[in-house]
Structures are given as C-alpha cells and as structure tokens.
Amino acid sequence: MTLLVKGGTVIGPTGSQKADVLVQGEKIVALLDPLFSATIAPDEVIDATGKYVIPGGIDAHTHMELPFGGTAASDTFDTGTRAAAWGGTTTIIDFAVQKTGDVVQDGLAAWHAKAEGNCHVDYAFHMILGGVDGDSLKAMDSLVRDEGITSFKLFMAYPGVFYSDDGQILRAMQTARENGAMIMMHAENGIAIDVLVQQALARGESDPIYHGITRPPALETEATSRAIALAEVAKDCPLYIVHLSASGALEAVAQARDAGRNVFAETCPQYLYLTLEDQLGAPGFEGAKWVCSTPLRSKHESHAKDLWKGLRSNDLAIVSTDHCPFCMKDQKELGRGDFSKIPNGIGGVEHRVDLIYQGVVDGQLSLERWVETIATTPARMFGLYPQKGIVAPGSDADLVVYDPNGTTRIGVETHHMNMDYSAYEGVEIQGRVGTVISRGEVIVADGNYHGRKGRGRYLKRGLSSYLV
C-alpha cells in the first residue's frame, strides 16, 4: 500500500520545502520533488495543496486515568488518545504511577493494563516514583534496561502523596546519572505551599483563586533552583523541569543552560494563554476549571511573555499539555468551599498543536520552531527519534496535513475529550488540523474519524539523544 501526500509544504525543525511525501506501509520512504512524483502511481493520494505537512504531534506529558484527589482523570486511554488524534497528536507519553509504598513494577503493570488494547495512537510511558528507596532505585535500572522507560518523574510538591525529599531526589538523580535516564521534576516547594494553604483556609479564603495565590512563583523558582543544584551535585544528571510557569524558574533554567548543563524544561499552553486573574479568578466556583499545578500566573507580571521568549530561545524546549482532565460535575465540585480539595488538572491534549500554531500566526514562533517544540524535540528528548518527530525517509509515517486557511473554534460542544467544559471555550485558532496519518493509516480526514481503539502501539524508548 503506497500513499502520496501531494502538493504541500513539508515543515521540519530546520526548514521548509515543497515536497511530496511518499509512504509505503507504515513508513515514510521518500520526500519527492513534485515534478518527479507526477511519474509515479500510488494507491492513494492526499491533496495537501496550500497546506503544511508536519510530523504528527508528540505530547510528552499526559495523565490518562490518573487517580488524584479522591477521583481519577476523566479521560481513559481510549477517549484521551482519540481526542489526541483529532488534534494532530499521534504519540503520547503518559505517566505510569508508583504510589507511595507500592512496588514500581506493579505500578507499571497497572498502567500497561489500562492502556493496552485501548489506544488510538502510539504511546509510551514515563514512570512517576512515589517513593524513592532501595527497591525503587533498583527498579529504575531495570525499567531503563528492559522496559523502554528512560525518564522518571519526582515531586517536590504534594507532601504525603507523591513528595520526595532532597535526599531521595539526590539518590534518584545519582542512579539516573549512572543508567542514562532523565529525571523529570515537578518543581514547587510543597512543604511551604502546605503552610500557605492552611493559613489561607484558616482565614476563610476558600475560592479557587487561592489555589494560585498559595502557590506563588517564588516557590516554583526556589524548587527549580534546588533541583538544578541537586542535579549538579549528582554530576550533571540530566534534568527536565515539567510544566514550568514562572519567569523566575525560567531564569534559573536559562542560567544552567548557559553554563552548558543538561537542564531542560517544558511549558504548557495554559501558561501561555490563561491567567490567574481571568480564569482562576472567575466568579463563584467557575475558577475550579483552571485549578492545576503549577498554577496559572498573574497577568500583571511578565510570565507569559517570558515563556514565549523562552520557547524562541530554546530555554524552553518543548510544549506539552500536562493533560489531566476532570469534569466539573462530581469531580472539580469535590472542592466547593475548599480550594485545596479541587482535583488539580486541565485537559488539553486535543488542542496543543492548534494553540501553538496560533503562536506562529501571532508572530511568537516560526513555523519551524512550532514543529520543533511540539514534535521533533519531544522525540529527541525522550528517545523516540528518528522513528518519530520528523518527516524523513525511514521514519514512521505519522503526518498531519495542517490548513493555514482553515479555522478552529474550541469548545465543549465540539471537542472529543471526556470533559464537561473546555478550558479554552470560544477560543478561535486561525488554522486547522486536516488529515491525520498514524503509521501510514489515515485516522482523521475531512472532519471524519477513521481510527480505532487498540491500533496504538506501546513504544519502548531509548535514552535521550538531546543531551550536551
């Protein structure tokens, strides 16, 4: 079976070219001069005239079915990966969870059981370590060696749930330094945050906005700097800061990078577009829709502007979603009258490709940088390159035909995520995901869905190819 994606402009991280993309089976076999491809007769032709052809998006940070705050993220691997496909994301890297006190391998097996046979697009796992001890340190080695899991997330937040202290973090970093893995860090000072939360609640400050006010930027900056220092002590263990939202944290990352360190960071669309005042501070309980950690930041400070700049300069390497959806009904509502009981998370796996394309339209990023931050660098950072993340011969035929003349209106009525609201209700994108191809199979075309659950494959990842 041969497929020709014809007439489009192929966008890669280093440039764009008019080329026709020839696919055979699951792989890209050639990028052809349009004059030459007129001489071949493929089984199927997709007309990409006037459109961009980009590698399928890779969302390196999702939480399907994550148990959190007495409930669980509302997207299953079925609904969440289907929504991802609709939005031009053809690979997700989800976080398998070792709960504190549990065995790492059991947590991983549970995650495989949730995902296997249910995914519409390809998927891989990072591992959350909820408890660093001798057994979990040994498990890190075996996951890297045998399971294709080469990155481990630790939490400086959530004492009593996922929290690791500095000694545990240092040990995990030393282990990662030896086995080649990446440490991913939720960098917020959770011990100090818990004090602020108790003090706010004691004053009767219970609305959703206090979730943000009790997690100030200084406590993200402090934790980010501490993580960077610990990684230095661990002989430059590769460190990746997740969901970076504060200017000060970005400065700390930039400084480490200027010193040539293996320190990387991602941000998420919510920190580029949404704010503490306008969303988290919405009247009544409405702000619960945007309770996530790290929190949305103040529009009166320069966070969002600095994050766009960080994306341009590569101090921020990747845009992920931290997709962790909860419905208002029965889920976010658990925190009515007490913001600290609102499950933390925003859903967005369907909209990342569009939202960051809007950054291109707005003059924040080049087309090449769009592709790099949503696909190529995630693949390189997390050991999936060049199988994923690039339109090149030999790579998987994961392709998105993106229409710069189309528009997308985001909203709960049209999205495919299992959420009863949209964090971006009414936002209009000046572009549109057209055809989506996953390993040579057309799964979205002309507004119709052709994928199916169970077609997505588990990807064993290699070590990062992004290190200096």
Interaction site with Zn ion (CB under 5 A)? 186, 322
Supply the minimum distance, in Å, between the C-beta of residue 156 and Zn ion.
10
Is the Cβ of residue 6 or residue 211 nearer to Zn ion in the bound state? 211
Supply the minimum distance, in Å, between the C-beta of residue 39 and ligand DUC.
52
Helix locations, 290-444, DSSP H: 303-313, 352-361, 367-371, 377-381
Q: Which does 376 bind (CB under 5 to 8 A by kind): Zn ion, ligand DUC, none?
A: none
How many Cα neighbours within 13 Å face the side chain of 423? 34
Is the Cβ of residue 6 or residue 63 nearer to ligand DUC in the bound state? 63
422 Cβ neighbours under 8 A, 6+ residues apart:
410, 411, 412, 415
Residues 140-159 within binding reach of ligand DUC (CB under 6 A): none
Supply the minimum distance, in Å, between the C-beta of residue 100 and ligand DUC.
15
Residues 164-193 within binding reach of ligand DUC (CB under 6 A): 186
Supply the minimum distance, in Å, between the C-beta of residue 184 and Zn ion.
9
Residue with structure tokens 């390497």? 317
Is the Cβ of residue 321 or residue 364 nearer to ligand DUC in the bound state? 321
**331 interacts with ligand DUC by CB under 6 A:** no
Is the Cβ of residue 324 or residue 419 nearer to ligand DUC in the bound state? 324
Supply the minimum distance, in Å, between the C-beta of residue 411 and Zn ion.
24
Supply the minimum distance, in Å, between the C-beta of residue 193 and ligand DUC.
12
* Binding residue for ligand DUC, selected from 104, 324, 381, 401, defined by CB under 6 A: 324
The span from the first CA to the last CA of the chain, in angstroms, equals 40
Q: Which does 62 bind (CB under 5 to 8 A by kind): ligand DUC, Zn ion, none?
A: none
Q: Which does 292 bind (CB under 5 to 8 A by kind): ligand DUC, Zn ion, none?
A: ligand DUC
Helix (H) or strand (E) holding 234: none
**126 interacts with ligand DUC by CB under 6 A:** no
Is the Cβ of residue 186 or residue 415 nearer to Zn ion in the bound state? 186
Residue with structure tokens 């496909």? 85
Sign of torsion, CA 83 89 91 93? negative
Q: Which does 124 bind (CB under 5 to 8 A by kind): ligand DUC, Zn ion, none?
A: none
Residues 283-312 within binding reach of ligand DUC (CB under 6 A): 292-293
Is the Cβ of residue 6 or residue 243 nearer to Zn ion in the bound state? 243
Count of residues near ligand DUC by CB under 6 A: 9
For 373, list phi and psi in degrees, rounded to 5. Answer: -75, -25
What's the distance, CA 390 to chain centroid? 17
Is the Cβ of residue 87 or residue 345 nearer to ligand DUC in the bound state? 345
Is the Cβ of residue 290 or residue 357 nearer to ligand DUC in the bound state? 290
Q: What angle do CA 446, 63, 342 make, to 5 degrees?
A: 110
Q: Which does 421 bind (CB under 5 to 8 A by kind): Zn ion, ligand DUC, none?
A: none
Q: Compute the distance between CA of residue 92 and CA of residue 374 in angstroms, rounded to an integer.
A: 11
Q: Would you state the torsion angle of the CA atoms of residues 80, 85, 90, 91, taken in this order, to the nearest 10 degrees?
A: 0
Helix locations, 38-103, DSSP H: 77-86
Q: Which does 345 bind (CB under 5 to 8 A by kind): Zn ion, ligand DUC, none?
A: ligand DUC
Residues 333-352 within binding reach of ligand DUC (CB under 6 A): 344-345
Supply the minimum distance, in Å, between the C-beta of residue 269 and ligand DUC.
13
Radius of gyration over every alpha carbon of the chain, rounded to an integer in angstroms: 21
Nearest to 109 by CA among 65, 59, 81, 147: 147
Nearest to 180 by CA among 236, 228, 125, 134: 236
Supply the minimum distance, in Å, between the C-beta of residue 152 and Zn ion.
13
Structure tokens at 350: 């369907």
Under a CB-based contact definition with an 8 Å cutoff, are residues 356 and 374 in contact?
yes
Supply the minimum distance, in Å, between the C-beta of residue 54 and ligand DUC.
28
Indicate the residue whose CB is closest to ligand DUC: 292
Coil, helix or strand for 396?
strand
Residues forming a β-bridge with 448: 445
Supply the minimum distance, in Å, between the C-beta of residue 268 and Zn ion.
9
Nearest to 457 by CA among 152, 145, 118, 28: 118
Coil, helix or strand for 155?
strand
Is the Cβ of residue 209 or residue 401 nearer to ligand DUC in the bound state? 209
Nearest to 266 by CA among 126, 443, 456: 126
**Is residue 403 packed enough to be buried (19+ CB in 10 Å), middle (13-18) or exposed (0-12)?**
middle
Q: Which does 264 bind (CB under 5 to 8 A by kind): Zn ion, ligand DUC, none?
A: none
Supply the minimum distance, in Å, between the C-beta of residue 362 and ligand DUC.
25
**63 interacts with ligand DUC by CB under 6 A:** yes
Is the Cβ of residue 242 or residue 437 nearer to ligand DUC in the bound state? 242
Binding site for ligand DUC (CB under 6 A): 63, 68, 186, 292-293, 322, 324, 344-345
